[in-house]
Amino acid sequence: MRGVYSPLAPGRAFAQPAFNTMQEIAGYIHVLQTGGNSKLPLEKNNICIIIVYMRVNSLKPILYSLLFAWTVTALSVCVVEPIDLTDFVTDPKVTAIVEAQAQRVNLTKKSEGTAGNRAILVAPAQYYAVAEWEIKEDDSVGPRISTQFVKADGLRSQTITEIARVNGGRIGGLDNKKLYEALSAKPLEGNVYYVSSSSAPGGSLTTTGTQYELKDGVITLTASKDPYYIDFSALITGDQAPSSANYTIVEVPVSPAGGTASTVTAGTTIIMVEDEGTTDYVFADADPLLMIDNDKFFYLTVIIEPKPEVSITLSITVTYSSSSTKEIKFDFSDGNGVISDPSNYKVDQDDPPTITIALNSDTISSFGTNPTYDWYYDKDSTFTQNTSSISVDFNSDVDYLLPGTHTFTVIIKDDDGYYQADVTITVGGS
């Protein structure tokens, strides 16, 4: 008897009875049902199908016979009208079930996806790599043939720059007589560090950049006048470190559509992103064998959102010590001069200004000798100024353009006491 390869237990075989003709199959089933009494009719009932993974060649008659045998023996207590064997094995529903179960690719236990006919059914809109092995004549697993990357149309390619999010959730063009293992890229987890700058940083951003904790492998930033530089070095450590010397990193434009994927220079840990839209960075271990065997396959998504169409208004809240009788006033100005109506002030998002907040000259003269000024910003504990005015540069710090409130507080001390004034900038018109 010939062994049949089972992908659920590689290298193992199970026995099959030998039949040469449909008449022999019919006789075998009739014996199972009637005990050899040729006068008793065959019977049918509800079909109970046990799905068996097998390669397709001369085994199809065997599967038909087993299906029919199980049908007529398992539930023989319920007798209905006789059924002809030929009618059963040619029934379209039975044929569809048999062929659907028999014509499938072989998958390793570790593989993602579901085996289909010359295909693997997978979750859509993800990145995949596929390893392929030969299956020998004795049904043992042969050497690995290749490790390839899946394109948008679900077909494979040896060229990593052709990798894309798979449309339709189907990896096709496979061979039912081969063994496959599909692996999807997982989102990187941890913190990245970024800056917006007109020139490339001279080194790591882990101490000088803004920290951003990834969620599902995604970082979302608002478009800036200057490019963003993103340091991902902290991500590729520990379990996310490559098994070989480096990752091969591919920059894949997602939206707007039509961009061309390209590789990032080997060893790079800082990427530059400047265009609005979505870009994926796929990290594949430089050694394809280690990538599949050790799951060294990740992605990072960078989303640059358009600058918000918002207005910026200025409001003033002044507080001071109860013993103070001095009035505190401010003057506001930008590159175009005095801002006459701070409550209805709007900013051009494409040319953000620098707003100067200054204590009024009459206010300054009302203080005693040698007054001191200490400014603070509620969103940044490192912000300090010690003059009677400060400049808020919306162009150099994109955080100032984020919707919400930004409060700058000045504490003034003179011979008569102290005075505190809060200047609140509200972004979004509220």
Q: What is the full per-residue pLDDT of the chain (430 aa) written as tens digits?
A: 333 334 433 433 333 444 444 455 555 455 545 555 544 454 444 333 333 334 434 455 555 555 665 555 555 545 455 666 666 667 777 666 656 556 899 999 999 999 999 999 999 999 999 999 999 999 999 999 999 999 999 999 999 999 999 999 999 999 999 999 999 999 999 999 999 999 999 899 999 999 999 999 999 999 988 899 999 999 999 999 999 989 999 999 999 988 899 999 988 999 999 999 999 999 999 999 999 999 999 999 999 998 766 566 666 666 655 555 677 888 999 888 998 888 777 776 667 788 899 998 988 988 888 899 999 998 888 888 899 999 988 777 767 766 778 888 888 888 888 888 888 887 775 4
Judge whether 425 and 406 are in contact, CB under 8 Å: yes
Task: Name the domain boundary from 262, 282, 305.
Answer: 305
How many Å apart are CA 220 and CA 304, to the nearest integer? Answer: 6
The partner residues of 132 in beta bridges, in order of sequence, read 146, 180
Biggest CA pair distance of the chain: 124
Predicted TM-score (pTM) of this structure: 0.58
Q: State whether 203 and 165 are in the same domain.
A: no
Q: State whether 416 and 348 are in the same domain.
A: yes
The number of residues making up the chain comes to 430
Q: State whether 328 and 420 are in the same domain.
A: yes
Q: State whether 56 and 110 are in the same domain.
A: no
Host domain of residue 133: 106-184
What CATH number is given to the structural domain containing 391? Answer: 2.60.40
- The answer to whether the Cα torsion of 172, 176, 177, 180 is positive or negative is positive
Q: State whether 229 and 174 are in the same domain.
A: no
Q: State whether 206 and 276 are in the same domain.
A: yes
Name the phi and psi angles at 235, rounded to 5. -80, -35
- The answer to whether the Cα torsion of 367, 368, 370, 376 is positive or negative is negative
331 part of a folded domain: yes
DSSP state for residue 40 in the 8-state scheme: S
15 part of a folded domain: no
Helix count and strand count (H, E) for the chain = 6, 27
9 part of a folded domain: no
Judge whether 73 and 66 are in contact, CB under 8 Å: no
Quote the pLDDT of residue 209: 95
Q: State whether 57 and 129 are in the same domain.
A: no
Q: State whether 326 and 401 are in the same domain.
A: yes
10 part of a folded domain: no
Q: State whether 262 and 237 are in the same domain.
A: yes
239 part of a folded domain: yes
Helix (H) or strand (E) holding 418: strand 417-427
Q: State whether 98 and 205 are in the same domain.
A: no
Quote the pLDDT of residue 375: 94
Judge whether 315 and 232 are in contact, CB under 8 Å: no
3 part of a folded domain: no
Residues 6+ apart with CB under 8 A from 217: 186, 187, 188, 189, 298, 299, 300, 301
Q: State whether 299 and 317 are in the same domain.
A: no
Task: Name the domain boundary from 184, 218, 237.
Answer: 184
41 part of a folded domain: yes
Amino acid, res. 9: A
16 part of a folded domain: no
Q: How many domains does one find in the chain?
A: 4
How many Å apart are CA 171 and CA 173, to the nearest integer? Answer: 7
Map residue 62 onto helix, strand or coil: helix
How many Å apart are CA 208 and CA 203, to the nearest integer? Answer: 10
Task: Name the domain boundary from 244, 270, 305.
Answer: 305
Q: State whether 217 and 318 are in the same domain.
A: no
